[in-house]
Structure 1
Amino acid sequence: MGKNSCIQCSIKECKHHDMAENYCTLNQIKVGTHETHPTKIECTDCESFVFRG
Structure 2
Amino acid sequence: MACCNGEKNESIKCTVTQCANHCDSADYCSLSSIQVGTHEANPTMVECTDCNSFELKK
**TM-score scaled by structure 1?**
0.99
Give yes or no for the alignment of 1:6 onto 2:19: no
Q: Between Structure 1 and Structure 2, how many residues are aligned?
A: 53
Where does structure 1 differ by over 4 angstroms across 4 or more consecutive aligned residues? none
Q: 2:22 aligns with which of 9, 14, 17?
A: 17
Query: Which runs of 5 or more residues in structure 1 are unaligned?
Result: none
Percent identity over the alignment is: 45
Counterpart position of 1:43: 48
**TM-score scaled by structure 2?**
0.90
TM superposition shift of 1:48: 0.1
